[in-house]
Structure 1
Amino acid sequence: MDWLQRIVRLRQWTRNGTRAPHKPLLLLYALGRFQEDADRELRYSAVEGDLQRLLAEYGPPNRTTPAYPFHHLVSDGVWEVRTDRGPGSPGSGLRELRESGAAGRLAPDLRDALRREPVLLHRIARSLLDLHFPPSLHGELCEAVGLDLEPAETGRLSAARRQRDRRMRELVLTAYEYRCAFCGYDGRIDTVPVGLEAAHVRWWAFDGPDDVDNGLCLCSLHHKLFDKGVLGVGDGHRILVSQRFVGHSPAARDHVTALSGRPLIGPQPGAAPVAADHRSWHMRQVFHGSPRPAATPRVADAR
């Protein structure tokens, strides 16, 4: 059985690029638990909090429940659920899963395959990461679910649906003249830029093209905040900051909240700005909550 292909073909609700990472997140969490104890069952009432936090941090902006993937992943042939009454899921309702003592784990055939071929776990995990999340989130997501992946397995896999254009980074950084489009950071060591990255506005995992009009040159901090939905790009190519972001330190104020309403820095004349449909996708699928009002410039204290 080709488990990688089965993972690629997970049944998910999709429409117009809508993100639905519920099943991938549950599978990544289950793989992390499998590494700790291959025979351990995950009782829904015990792991619901963990799964809810994963959905809140790495899922779509709208509120959702981990009960849905816990029940529906069974139909993909990679997951099984039993209750205190015996095999089978009681349904996708929170109350049913809690009160029935529902517990889930990877399907028996998949567990056997993972025991025979340990590298398969790493390949499945990398496929899930590549197909559903941007690279900027892979490392911290592995930490969040307790996955320890081998460095040798960090490349893209044959199960992925298409290949990236390796030229995109250079094209995007050139378009923005090697400056962060949010803060203007332009650090280098000798002639080599450091801490600057090419961010996809519409994620590559959701059919975002490797084109300049789907890219932003961002420093590492603002790339991570952009992919976590703290920052966005609105009409007039002005920076948006989520009202859900909370930070009281001078650093949080200067590097995040003060950006609200500022125009992007770049791209240079002749380079394509971020396309409206990519900005719209990011606002619907990644950006959290409503934007803050434009920041008011601080006036120096009178002396």
Structure 2
Amino acid sequence: MDWVERAAELRQWSKGAVRAPHKPLLLLYALGRFQREGDDGELRYSTVEEDLQRLLAEYGPPHRTSPAYPFHHLVSDGVWEVRTDRGAGSPGTGVRELRARGATGRLVPELRVALRREPSLFGRMARVLLDANFPPSLHDEVCEAVGLESAPDLPERLPGAHRQQRDRRMRDLVLTAYEYRCAFCGYDGRLGSVSVGLEAAHVRWWAFDGPDHVDNGLCLCSLHHKLFDKGVLGVGWGSPRSSGVESGGEAESGGSHRILVSQRFVGHGAAARAQVTELSGRPLIGPQPGTAPVAATHRSWHIEQVFRGDPRPAHVAPSSV
């Protein structure tokens, strides 16, 4: 049985390009626990519920969701089994039922045997789950959060739906379009003649059909790339005093692309204010004239699927008078 292929083809709730990484997060968590602890890998729902809720809050979609959903539904993918005090089978998707009946879940016996026989399978399954659901900037962080050793960089093409090849020219095209400056803060550091700490960020993630095009990219420093992918920062459209989340299309006259900062972000130090909260409402730096700016459809996807909560009001610098 090809377990990597099975991981790549998890049946997930879908509606357009809506993010639903509930099952992948649970499977990654179960792999991490089994890798660390071995034994039979049994996870009691009432014990791991808080861990799973934290993972969904951190890496799931912006709206609140319950870990009971993947705990029940992952069974249908042939990699997970659930038992209660009444025997095999899940009692349903209700949190109360899972708690009250002492529901436990674990990887199916065949998968546990395969993982013991071939330890590299942990990393290969993790890689396909990460590539299909998260941007590269979050891969190591997700692995750490679920307790897995970092997934390896694999040269071969991965199975499943995401077989298309990345366009390796995108980084150069995006950095050139933004003249090697972070679109949020203007950082343009170099070591000799080589830029350092600058990355090409996908606005709409590649895992969710985001194209390797300049109009789906931003040149960002490493810090702002991570905060953008975590939903702390976003890109909106409007005047300096607007919320910056107006819809795209023909109505975008008389405005410009502006930085959004989530109201959920908290940072009291001078660095947090300068690098994050005071960016709210600022116009993007770049791209250079004649280059396609961020497309409204990609910007809207990021606001709906990644950005956390509502944006802060535009920052107004104190008067120097």
TMscore range, shorter length? over 0.9
Moved more, 116-125 or 126-135: 116-125
Partner amino acid, structure 2, of 1:170: D
SS in 2 for 1:105: strand
In structure 2, the residue matched to 1:135 is 136
CA contact (8 A) 1:127 1:156 kept: no
SS in 2 for 1:237: strand
Query: How many pairs does the alignment contain?
Result: 300
**Residue 252 of structure 1 pairs with residue 254 of structure 2:** no
Partner amino acid, structure 2, of 1:36: R
In structure 2, the residue matched to 1:182 is 184
In structure 1, the residue matched to 2:243 is none
CA contact (8 A) 2:124 2:151 kept: no
Structure 2 residues not aligned, in runs of 5+:
238-255
Closer, same or farther in 2 for the Cα pair 1:64/1:125, shift >3 Å?
same
Moved more, 74-83 or 115-124: 115-124
Between the aligned partners of 2:78 and 2:23, the Cα distance in structure 1 is 12
Moved more, 233-242 or 65-74: 233-242
Moved more, 141-150 or 196-205: 141-150
Q: 1:149 deviation in Å?
A: 3.1
Structure 1 residues not aligned, in runs of 5+:
none
SS in 1 for 2:310: coil
Between the aligned partners of 1:287 and 1:144, the Cα distance in structure 2 is 20
In structure 2, the residue matched to 1:96 is 97
Closer, same or farther in 2 for the Cα pair 1:156/1:178, shift >3 Å?
farther
Q: For 1:274, which of 287, 294, 301 is the aligned residue? A: 294
TM-score normalised according to structure 1 size? 0.96
Between the aligned partners of 2:74 and 2:181, the Cα distance in structure 1 is 43
**Residue 2 of structure 1 pairs with residue 2 of structure 2:** yes
TM-score normalised according to structure 2 size? 0.91
In structure 2, the residue matched to 1:194 is 196
In structure 2, the residue matched to 1:232 is 234
Closer, same or farther in 2 for the Cα pair 1:258/1:155, shift >3 Å?
farther
In structure 1, the residue matched to 2:24 is 24
Deviation per CA, 1:128-182: give whole Å up to 9, x if none. Answer: 011100000011111111001365x455642242111000000000000000000
Moved more, 179-188 or 80-89: 80-89
Q: 1:40 deviation in Å?
A: 2.3
Deviation per CA, 1:186-214: give whole Å up to 9, x if none. Answer: 00100111110000000000000000000
**Residue 214 of structure 1 pairs with residue 216 of structure 2:** yes
What is the RMSD of the two structures over their aligned residues, measured on CA atoms?
1.2
SS in 2 for 1:185: coil
CA contact (8 A) 1:61 1:288 kept: yes
In structure 1, the residue matched to 2:173 is 171
Closer, same or farther in 2 for the Cα pair 1:63/1:281, shift >3 Å?
same
Partner amino acid, structure 2, of 1:29: Y
Between the aligned partners of 2:94 and 2:13, the Cα distance in structure 1 is 18
Partner amino acid, structure 1, of 2:301: W
SS in 2 for 1:258: helix
Partner amino acid, structure 1, of 2:275: H
Moved more, 156-165 or 15-24: 156-165
Between the aligned partners of 2:156 and 2:205, the Cα distance in structure 1 is 16
